[in-house]
Structure 1
């Protein structure tokens, strides 16, 4: 995931707080959407005629003469060929729609920039000259996965864009994603306690130790960030959940992030981060963020009740069912072929001559990335099935076959 090098949100904490309070008052929703990513298939986005067929230079009413931004865009697109031109024009069109949905303060910058997250290029969405989001298009590599990525356009909106967008942007953005048959890939939901949360961050840790964050009898992983050893007042975060599972919560001292520890701000935030690795994220998260915040766990729902928010109905986002045995076998077969074709000679010589050092080399290694979505028992069974396939059949002689 790519974050902006310097988020404009840290520049004026008071303005951020005022904006969040205004949004809460206007929407009557206590939960704020703080980050949004979604992907759309290129076939669902058609560039406008103004982008595809600009008037000739000097022609009366030439929009390129009237608007320097569009003239620069046209000059950029003119240098592209074939599929690159089409992808750039489609991504620009989607960027214009996204910026228009966020509000009049947002524009798409006409300079095509280097992409992020394996996209080759990006158009930047800006507010007051700062990048607050981007539109990625075309893949940076030629792997099968990235070839599929070439057929998509990706939108990444940082917290600044979500915070300073005009009222009603969430509902309109959800409609835009639905209109283009898009897929939400990340959505962060935040509950801000401007005057402090009862018990503070130490109470959050105590809640975890008491099992209040457990879901379906399972205790999520946790992580402490910041100076917890001395129980100081500044800069602490408590994470629980897992990015890999697509649901992680960060409870942190937001006031210290924005104002510095010297201000002793009581502002705390509960930030719930949903990803689509193992979940299908509905666009209704944008329309009803409090419902999906409450649905994350009984603890999240209890915090909304403690907040005295009443207009919500908890809705959970379940993990997808585990992939079928055939998919596990397919991934294991790819690993097996790599071992056989690429690494077998090196493994054989190390096994023969390295002795115990060979066991130290391979012991307690993580599963390869393509296998981490499966349980170890599933991987073990798949390897056993693959090994059985390669066993010679008793009484079978290849030379006579």
Structure 2
């Protein structure tokens, strides 16, 4: 029996031992009844444990031993899913599968059909080999700045913004790092342990600022033949409930007790942040975590509006963070995120009929919360002074005295948008910092200083 098959069987037996029998009847010794996993090659779908967290058994589960043996040695063996590209959302159930990655057995992610687009990508990290840019025809790249300049064009074609400036130091264990757009993320490369890979990290502001349709363009780029060794290392999926009418942070906390966050018979570690005991009297917001930051899957449910500074906001965000520690994050998550979102935990399937907030609505809500934040703390800090100063100077003169001399929006109110970001590197004039090449006498075989190369002819 191969290593993958043996680990697959061990996983199924482990899942069976950790879950009680479907009938709810315990054994005579008081222990919970164990569900035996099938060991037969031709097992029926009804003979094996369910492999999706809805408790369903599907016909594809009959081939439990046909486990893919992983990523091949090709640069980018992934074949684009044309059905998902055309339909943008046509999910199908998939069984739990094991694959080989870098000599280790990892798990493929599970998908469940979603009735609507109930989440959006909020954070994304992608790595690939530096050879990717050479495949596009750039053959004379010498320095790291040259490579960053060449990648900037591809990044702009996908997101609408490119690499704008270089940081003083590296990030994420890479030797060099550059800013993307208007602080929308970063591009990093270099380092002894990075094996000539590069990192493209897009934060939440960057996902909002990116040109519409960036998910599909990125998916097509990663699955193309020119992209070498691409890999999604992290992706955060978020559902925004602006009215707070679906699930609250207290609902998440209660759902954990009822098994709403159980995965394969395991219950992730819960954590509560904020003033839970007295129900957050200051309106700073409550957060519920299921899992740890070091795990490959983490849930965050929090009061987003209050986090942004609006103490009376009902805005609730449910967020799942996927990392590739012990699993493969498929590229299809870019164009069909909701299927993976609702499959992450049983409680999230309640979001399937509910669509998430539009990107433009999210930006507007963030701006409203920022205005409310500044108004509140301006009144608390300077309200008494403002009241007297208006009587002394009058409204117009007083505002002219206290307003900033610079026409710049505060960071909290700045609207994310690719059109407003700085000029990317590949559109900036190149900087020539090298020392001009100078020929000396020694280059011609003469000693420097006193030589016939430097001697002047004499007139006789």
**TM-score bracket for the superposition, by shorter chain length:** 0.5 to 0.7
Q: CA deviation at 1:282?
A: 0.8
Are 2:128 and 1:40 equivalent residues in the alignment? yes
Task: Give the one of 180, 194, 214 matched to 1:125.
Answer: 180
Are 2:312 and 1:267 equivalent residues in the alignment? no
Q: Residues of 2 paired with 1:92 and 1:283: CA distance? A: 25
Label 1:124 to 1:51 Cα distance change in 2 as closer, same or farther (>3 A): farther
Corresponding residue number in structure 2 for 1:231: 279
Label 1:215 to 1:197 Cα distance change in 2 as closer, same or farther (>3 A): farther
Corresponding residue number in structure 2 for 1:158: 203
State the Cα deviation string for residues 299-349 of structure 1 (Å, max 9, x = none): 1112324x278xxxxxxxxxxxxxxxxxxxxxxxxxxxxxxxxxxxxxxxx
Label 1:208 to 1:171 Cα distance change in 2 as closer, same or farther (>3 A): same
Label 1:253 to 1:119 Cα distance change in 2 as closer, same or farther (>3 A): same
Corresponding residue number in structure 1 for 2:157: 100
Q: Residues of 2 paired with 1:250 and 1:171: CA distance? A: 26
Q: CA deviation at 1:199?
A: 5.0
Are 2:302 and 1:252 equivalent residues in the alignment? yes
- The DSSP-based 3-state class of the residue aligned with 1:45 is helix
Q: Residues of 2 paired with 1:112 and 1:303: CA distance? A: 40
Alignment of 1:167-246 (within 5 A): 167-179=212-224, 180=227, 181-198=229-246, 200-232=248-280, 233-246=283-296
Q: Residues of 1 paired with 2:174 and 2:340: CA distance? A: 30
Label 1:45 to 1:239 Cα distance change in 2 as closer, same or farther (>3 A): same
Contact 1:137/1:150 (8 A) holds in 2: no
TM-score after normalising by structure 1: 0.55
Q: CA deviation at 1:172?
A: 0.7
Which structure 1 residue ranges, 5 or more long, are not aligned? 1-27, 54-81, 310-401
Label 1:214 to 1:50 Cα distance change in 2 as closer, same or farther (>3 A): closer
Which structure 2 residue ranges, 5 or more long, are not aligned? 1-115, 357-460
RMSD: 2.3
Alignment of 1:212-361 (within 5 A): 212-232=260-280, 233-261=283-311, 264-305=312-353, 307=354
Q: CA deviation at 1:112?
A: 5.5
Q: Residues of 2 paired with 1:186 and 1:113: CA distance? A: 25
Corresponding residue number in structure 2 for 1:137: 189
Label 1:308 to 1:133 Cα distance change in 2 as closer, same or farther (>3 A): closer
Label 1:96 to 1:47 Cα distance change in 2 as closer, same or farther (>3 A): farther
Q: CA deviation at 1:176?
A: 1.6
- Answer 1 or 2: higher relative contact order, Cα 8 Å, separation at least 6: 2
Contact 1:47/1:90 (8 A) holds in 2: no
Q: CA deviation at 1:110?
A: 4.4
Contact 1:246/1:279 (8 A) holds in 2: yes
Larger radius of gyration: 2
Label 1:193 to 1:167 Cα distance change in 2 as closer, same or farther (>3 A): same
Q: CA deviation at 1:91?
A: 3.3
Q: Residues of 1 paired with 2:239 and 2:329: CA distance? A: 19
Q: CA deviation at 1:178?
A: 2.1
State the Cα deviation string for residues 166-196 of structure 1 (Å, max 9, x = none): 2211111111222214100000000000110
Q: Residues of 2 paired with 1:102 and 1:117: CA distance? A: 21
- The DSSP-based 3-state class of the residue aligned with 2:246 is coil
Corresponding residue number in structure 2 for 1:109: 164
Q: Matched residue pairs, number? A: 236
Q: Residues of 2 paired with 1:150 and 1:91: CA distance? A: 16
Contact 2:284/2:306 (8 A) holds in 1: yes
Contact 2:190/2:196 (8 A) holds in 1: yes
Q: CA deviation at 1:225?
A: 1.1
Q: Which runs of 4+ in 1 moved over 4 A?
A: 47-53
Label 1:112 to 1:225 Cα distance change in 2 as closer, same or farther (>3 A): closer
